[in-house]
């Protein structure tokens, strides 16, 4: 049986998703220099759109398939899909310093790994680089990403 959420519950889960992504973003840029951090900023309106779009998308999928919950691989895949669609971290400087150039891709990878309980330092650099390249230059299908994340978690989780 599917659970129907009221507007307050819907907004609470959206805020929680935004908070997790924002906290991951701040943890990521904490390792950067002050000059690197000044290159970009989180656009809260775009972050909100990521969250809303994610939940609309997964709610449709859950309703269609009669699922109560989605596994972590699908949640990671759909999160990456919407982070890459909206790219909520915006450049503030031109030219931006190197870490800021792939900031949305790095954020998406860290959020996905967090959902999968995979430590980024346990994954070979070449695998991380392939994910960053895919996020940047390829069309992203959430279900294909879910399968990739399932394999990643099996290998490195």
Check residue 157 and report its DSSP letter. -
Task: Answer for the pair 22, 47: CB distance below 8 angstroms, yes or no.
Answer: yes
Helix (H, G, I), strand (E, B) or coil at 42: strand
Helix axes 7-29, 72-86, angle to 10 degrees: 80
pLDDT of the chain, 157 residues: tens digit per residue: 456 678 888 889 999 999 999 999 999 999 999 998 999 999 999 999 999 999 999 999 989 988 888 899 999 999 999 999 999 999 988 887 777 889 999 999 999 999 999 999 999 999 999 999 999 999 999 999 999 999 999 999 8
pLDDT score at 4:
65
Task: Answer for the pair 43, 89: CB distance below 8 angstroms, yes or no.
Answer: yes
The Cα–Cα gap between 89 and 103 comes to: 7
The Cα–Cα gap between 46 and 89 comes to: 8
pLDDT score at 40:
93
pLDDT score at 1:
46
Task: Answer for the pair 36, 29: CB distance below 8 angstroms, yes or no.
Answer: yes
Reported pTM: 0.92
The Cα–Cα gap between 68 and 62 comes to: 7
């Amino acid at each position: 049986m599917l659970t129907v959420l009221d507007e307050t519950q819907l907004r609470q889960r959206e805020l929680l998703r935004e908070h997790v992504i924002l906290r991951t973003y701040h943890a990521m840029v904490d390792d950067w220099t002050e000059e690197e951090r000044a290159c970009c900023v989180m656009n809260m309106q775009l972050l909100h759109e990521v969250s809303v779009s994610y939940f609309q998308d997964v709610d449709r999928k859950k309703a269609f398939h009669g699922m109560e919950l989605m596994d972590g691989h699908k949640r990671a895949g759909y999160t990456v899909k919407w982070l890459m669609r909206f790219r909520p971290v915006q450049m503030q400087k031109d030219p931006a310093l190197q870490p800021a150039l792939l900031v949305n891709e790095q954020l998406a990878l860290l959020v996905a790994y967090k959902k999968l309980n995979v430590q980024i330092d346990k994954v070979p650099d070449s695998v991380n680089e392939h994910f960053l390249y895919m996020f940047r230059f390829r069309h992203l299908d959430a279900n294909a990403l879910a399968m990739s994340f399932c394999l990643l978690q099996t290998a490195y989780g």
